[in-house]
Amino acid sequence: MSMFKDIPVDVGVIYEGQKIRRPDMQVEFGGPDVPAKFELVTARGMDEVDDGKVMIIGPDIKDLKEGSSTTLGIYIEVAGAQVEKDLEPVIERRIHEYCNFIEGFMHLNQRYDVWMRLSKGAYKKGLNTFEYIGKVLQRLFKAELPIIEKIQTTFITDAAKVKAMREEALKIYEARDARARGIKDEEVDVFYGCVLCQSFAPTHMCVLSPNRYSLCGALGWFDGRASARIDPKGPNFKIEKGECLDPVRGEYSGVNAAIKEKSLGEIQRISLYSMFDQPHTSCGCFETVGFYIPEVDGIGIIDRDFKGTAVNGLPFSAMADQTSGGRQTPGFHGISMEYMRSQRFLQADGGWSRVVYVASAIKERVKASIPQDLVDKLSTEKDVTNVEDLKSFLQSKGHPVVVRWKEAPPEEAPAEEEAAEPTPMMIPAEALAAMPAAMGGFKIVLKDVKIHAARLIIGSGEKPKKE
Among the listed ranges 10-18, 157-165, 211-219, 370-378, the one in contact with ligand SF4 (CB under 6 A) is: 211-219
Q: Total residues contacting ligand SF4 (rule CB under 6 A)?
A: 13
Among the listed ranges 30-38, 195-203, 380-388, 442-450, the one in contact with ligand SF4 (CB under 6 A) is: 195-203
Q: Which CB atom, from 102 or from 196, has the smaller least distance to ligand SF4? A: 196
Least CB distance to ligand SF4 at residue 110 (A): 7
Q: Are 347 and 289 in contact (CB under 8 A)?
A: no
Euclidean distance between the first and the last CA atom of the chain, given in angstroms as a whole number: 58
- Which of 26, 30, 79, 93 is the binder for ligand SF4 (CB under 6 A)? 93
Strand 332-335, strand 355-358: pairing:
unpaired
- Which of 69, 71, 199, 214 is the binder for ligand SF4 (CB under 6 A)? 214
Window 299 to 318, contacts with ligand SF4 (CB under 6 A): none
Q: Which CB atom, from 218 or from 230, has the smaller least distance to ligand SF4? A: 218
When asked if residue 41 is in the footprint of ligand SF4 (CB under 6 A), the reply is no
Supply the DSSP string of 296-362, one letter for each residue: TTEEEEEETT--SB-TTS-BHHHHHHHH-SSB--TTEEEE-HHHHTSTTTTGGGTGGGGEEEE-HHH
> Residue 243: left (phi > 0), alpha (psi -120 to 50), or beta?
beta
Least CB distance to ligand SF4 at residue 195 (A): 6
Handedness of CA 386, 387, 391, 392 (dihedral sign): negative
When asked if residue 263 is in the footprint of ligand SF4 (CB under 6 A), the reply is no
Q: Which CB atom, from 74 or from 219, has the smaller least distance to ligand SF4? A: 219
Whole-angstrom CA distances from 467 to 190, 334, 348, 353, 401 are 27, 21, 6, 10, 11
Tell me the C-alpha distance between 135 and 5, whole Å: 12
Q: Assign 251 to helix, strand or coil.
A: strand
Q: Which CB atom, from 26 or from 227, has the smaller least distance to ligand SF4? A: 227
Least CB distance to ligand SF4 at residue 172 (A): 17
Tell me the C-alpha distance between 402 and 409, whole Å: 9
Among the listed ranges 113-121, 212-220, 295-303, 371-379, the one in contact with ligand SF4 (CB under 6 A) is: 212-220
Tell me the C-alpha distance between 290 and 115, whole Å: 21
When asked if residue 219 is in the footprint of ligand SF4 (CB under 6 A), the reply is yes
When asked if residue 95 is in the footprint of ligand SF4 (CB under 6 A), the reply is no
Least CB distance to ligand SF4 at residue 283 (A): 5
Window 281 to 300, contacts with ligand SF4 (CB under 6 A): 283, 285
Among the listed ranges 40-48, 183-191, 210-218, 244-252, the one in contact with ligand SF4 (CB under 6 A) is: 210-218
When asked if residue 218 is in the footprint of ligand SF4 (CB under 6 A), the reply is yes
Tell me the C-alpha distance between 198 and 235, whole Å: 9
When asked if residue 215 is in the footprint of ligand SF4 (CB under 6 A), the reply is yes
Least CB distance to ligand SF4 at residue 337 (A): 13
Least CB distance to ligand SF4 at residue 238 (A): 15
Tell me the C-alpha distance between 186 and 74, whole Å: 37
When asked if residue 258 is in the footprint of ligand SF4 (CB under 6 A), the reply is no
Tell me the C-alpha distance between 206 and 239, whole Å: 11
Q: Are 111 and 217 in contact (CB under 8 A)?
A: yes
Closest CA to 300 of 312, 291, 309: 291
Least CB distance to ligand SF4 at residue 343 (A): 20
Applying CB under 6 A, which residues contact ligand SF4? Answer: 93, 194-197, 206, 214-216, 218-219, 283, 285
